[in-house]
Amino acid sequence: MITTIPSNRERFRIKLSIVSKMPFQLGIRVYDPRYANSYYFRRKATFSKADTKRDFIISLPVSPEVLEMEVYDKNTGEDYTFEIQNVKIEKMSPVEMWATDEQHRFLEFAIQFSQKAGYVPTGFYESEDHEFLFQYLAKITDPFGTELITPARTHRKMPRVQISQRLFKSYTIPIRVAILAHEGCHWFLNTRSQTTADLCGMKQYLDYGFPTIEAVYAVTKVFGMNPEIVGASQVERTKDVINFIEKYRVNA
């Protein structure tokens, strides 16, 4: 089932109530129908028995002119296995993010780039005030040409971020924003600490109103795709971020 939403670049959230008619795996996708690889939300959920009701909240702190929301059975692609019992759209409150003006400008630039990263070509992308520069590469490599698994990396002494197109095209827009917020924090805080940048970037991401479920995906995505590199430090780093997100939820 596909629903067109005249989003008009507004901030809002969608509340869905879904009831299963039989066991099935649900898929939800919210995307800009004009452009490829422009997902604002992706979620799957398993309904293990009939007559199960579940509620979903889809936070959209940024949106294009028009969105489409697709709710479907991931196995069949059909909608006879469930019923959408209720759909409600609520406006989100204005952004309340405690950060410097420079950090605000960087995040807005990161959001704008994230919205188009799924379909624009590689090259250099500069903010309107020429303050920040993103270098969009086909992939990020080491000096020997071997591809690195990092989706982005920044120079701590200048506001320039290198971004892997191959990896970014597969991510949702919120995950792209979370990654770029992390990279920005490396530069703003002049830190090499991954955890420090994780928590700084995640705070900005959540303060802006992006969904927490996508935040969890953001911190597990790279390690999940490359389990051979996961060690104790990466596991601890992921735990730190997830604990931060849980505390944020409680205090929100």
Q: What is the pLDDT of residues 1-33, one digit of tens each?
A: 899 999 999 999 999 999 999 999 999 999 999
Q: Count the domains in the chain.
A: 2
Q: Determine the 3-state secondary structure of 153 from DSSP.
A: strand
Q: Can you give 23-67 as a three-state secondary structure string?
A: CEEEEEEEECCCCCCCEEEEEEEEECCCCCEEEEEEEECCCCCCE
Share of the chain above pLDDT 70, in %: 92
Whether residue 161 lies inside any domain: the answer is yes
- Has residue 83 been placed in a domain? yes
Residue 96 lies in a domain: no
Percent of the chain scoring above 90 in pLDDT: 64
Q: How confident is the model at residue 230 (pLDDT cuts 50, 70, 90)?
A: very low
Mean of per-residue pLDDT scores for the chain: 89
Q: Which domain holds residue 67?
A: 2-91
The residues near 75 (Cβ < 8 Å, ≥ 6 apart) are 24, 25
- In sequence order, the β-bridge partners of residue 152 are 163
Query: What number is the average pLDDT over the span 98-125?
Result: 95
Q: How many CB atoms lie under 10 A from the CB of residue 201? A: 28
**By the 8 A CB rule, do 91 and 10 touch?**
yes
Q: Which residues of 208-218 are buried (b: 16+ CB within 10 A; e: fewer)?
A: bbbbbbbbbbb
CATH number of the domain residue 57 falls in? 2.60.120.260
123 within domain boundaries: yes
Q: Are residues 116 and 232 in the same domain?
A: yes
Tokens 């809002």 belong to which residue?
A: 12
Cα–Cα distances (Å) from 15 to 8, 44, 156, 217, in that order, read: 18, 15, 40, 20
**Do 165 and 57 have their domain in common?**
no
Q: How far apart are CA 187 and CA 190, in angstroms?
A: 5
